[in-house]
Structure 1
Amino acid sequence: MYWVVEKSVGGLARAMAVAGGASLLLVIALTCISVIGRALDVIGLQGIPGDIELVEFGIGFAVFSALPYAQYARAHARVDMLQRVFGDHLNRFLDLMGDLLMAAFTVLVAWRLYLGMLEKDAYGETSFILQIPVVWGYRAAMVACAISVIVALFCVLRSARALIGKEA
């Protein structure tokens, strides 16, 4: 059962990373097209109206989409100067503590993002130029953040299994 969960969570984390990467590529293309359009304004081309708003939405989604895979792959920044000095058991315990802290932090971020999303939806706030409802960006980020919570909780399970001697 554990291996099915691990495979599913890993696939979910990778899918979010790919979605975030695609978002980032779209933002890059949008920015390039807009800058070229502004540079060629002398011949009648223009930049893309509201490009900054679209970049904000796209980058926000890309950042939140990277979190699940970074957690799953243990790619977050770590201080491991003394890792070789500590025994395997202490290192596994420290991994579990780090995963517990990350899970708590991810739940906190998801909770606050959810409350912000409810507020943006209630007030009907829109972007300045394109009049895109700001809540759309929050909803996209919320999906990625919810997946981050799932991955973080799985990582706690994975570290707990390693601590008690089961294969991780």
Structure 2
Amino acid sequence: MHKLMMGLARSMAMAGGVVLSLLILLTCLSIAGRLLNGGLHGALMQSIAPDLAEWLIAIGVGPINGDFEVVEAGVAFAIFAFLPLCQITAGHASVDIVTNSFPRGAKRFLRMVTEIVFAAVLVLIAVRLGAGALSKFQNGETSFLLEFPVWWAYAASLVAASVAAVVGIYMAAVRTIEFMTGRILVWDGVEGEQ
């Protein structure tokens, strides 16, 4: 079961990485286009090669239209896509100055409670994203510039959030079993020796 969950988490993280890489490329191209467009409209280019400048402007050299809309939707998906791997590898930030002095049983209890709370929050997020996607689908809302249906972004984020919720539930079950039995089922390096 752990191999399946880890594979699912890694697949989502890879999808998030691909989307994030494409968004970085899109942003860089848009910024470069914006700079080039400004230079083409500048006095220097207009005096040296006005025909070339006008031709480049006419073919569309400039910022990418609606880039921020795509970045907004893509980053939301990427964030949710990275959550399952972070959840299954205990990659969330933690402050354990006080808890380091607790006995092993108390630490396991806190880890179990934390995983259960995380799972509940991830399920709540997925449910609310589902409701949001349905609402956006029903009212036909579109983005301002590109006019793509807003529910697409909600649906993509919902898929990733649902995987995060499933992995969160799995990890809550694992930590609960670990607490009840005293055995470590999934070693992640967080629980130190005492």
Normalised-by-shorter TM-score class:
over 0.9
Q: How many residues are paired up?
A: 164
* Root-mean-square deviation (Å): 1.0
Counterpart of 2:163 in structure 1 is 147
Amino acid in the other structure paired with 1:8: L
User: Is residue 16 from structure 1 mapped to residue 15 from structure 2 by the alignment?
Assistant: no
For 1:39 and 1:84, how far apart are their aligned partners in 2? 52
Q: 1:1-168 counterparts in 2 under 5 A?
A: 5-41=1-37, 42=40, 43=53, 44=57, 45-163=61-179, 164-168=181-185
Larger of the two Rg values belongs to structure: 2
The alpha carbon displacement at 1:160 in A equals 1.5
- Cα deviation, 1:97-149, whole Å, max 9, x if unaligned, reads 00000011111111111111110000011111111100000010000010011
Structure 2 letter corresponding to 1:140 = A
> Partner letter of residue 26 of structure 2?
L
Q: What is the DSSP-based 3-state SS (H/G/I as helix, E as strand, rest coil) of the residue aligned with 1:40?
A: helix
Task: Report the identity percentage.
Answer: 40
* TM-score, normalised with respect to structure 1: 0.94
Amino acid across the alignment from 1:27: L
Query: Which SS does the other structure have where 1:129 is aligned?
Result: coil
Runs (5+) with no aligned partner, structure 2:
41-52, 186-194
Q: Structure 1: how far apart are the matches of 2:178 and 2:103?
A: 13
TM-score, normalising length: structure 2: 0.82
The 3-state SS of whatever aligns with 2:99 is coil
Superposed structure 1 runs of 4+ greater than 4 Å apart: none
Unaligned stretches of 5+ in structure 1?
Answer: none
Within 1, Cα distance between the matches of 2:111 and 2:14? Answer: 26
Q: Which residue of 1 aligns with 2:50?
A: none
State the match for 2:45 in structure 1.
none
Instruction: Kindly provide the CA deviation profile for residues 17-76 of structure 1, in whole angstroms up to 9, marking residues without a partner as x.
Output: 111111111110000001101111113211111111111111111111111111111111
